[in-house]
Amino acid sequence: MTAALLKVSLLECTKNPLSVIYAAYRQCYSEKFAADMHSAENIPSDHATQFVKTMVTSGHESPLEHVMFTFAIQGISRAATHQLVRHRIASYSQQSQRYVNECSCEFIIPPAIAEHDDIRREYERLLDIAKTGYVTLIELFKRHGIDGRAATENARYVLPQAVETKIVVSMNVRELLHFFRLRCCNRAQWEIRTVAQKMLDICRLHLPAVFADAGPRCVWLGYCPEPVHLSCGLYPKRAQGKPNEAVQ
């Protein structure tokens, strides 16, 4: 059995994202034209950075929707993408099991399974059975003169959620902040958390004014919003800590 390796790559980002967000914010408070503020070369980047940071901290986030990031992700399981696509303010293009033959598919191995030899052996045995079943069905379809999509779209029903898939994801900056607040949390499922962290690392590189302090909700709020029995303990509960009063 072949284990897939996760890879997250940035395909595209809005050109001059800081300038676009700065102009959008300033348009809300200025009589000037946003196009002039966007193209103005006399606005220091450190001023724009601090201005945007202040606006984001204040809870004014709608101007962030004007900037988009598009990622290509591979080595992610179908189980994880089912969580990913629940974030509805986004665009997705995912590899189709109807059209792509999965006879050579790879699988994702959860760390909790990989760390125990006996559990991993049984896990791999079961996945091999599923893969063998898929290949067998494809061959049986061929004997009946059925090939291509007509075969793959039906044989796919025996494949498990551990099958590796590839997906393109586009989100605006506001939705990315929301995504990171939920999926970078220690309570998030390990795979979607790993994907989110890799996406966040890329976002921090390209737009630190917004993403430098981004992450799970506890980092943003200054306290843990989870029920007491579910908190990881990284941050105190609200009654114990000092929440960021600017964020409601």
Residues involved in catalysis: 183
Residue 77, phi then psi, degrees to nearest 5: -85, 160
- Secondary element (H or E) of residue 74: strand 68-77
DSSP-derived 3-state class of residue 18:
helix
Q: How many whole angstroms separate alpha carbon 81 and alpha carbon 90? A: 13
Query: Are 167 and 191 contacting, i.e. CB atoms less than 8 angstroms apart?
Result: no
Q: What is the DSSP string of 177-189?
A: HHHHHHHTSTTS-
Q: Hey, what are 190's tokens?
A: 């390990």
- Secondary element (H or E) of residue 211: helix 208-211
Give ∠ CA 100-104-109 in degrees, rounded to 5: 105
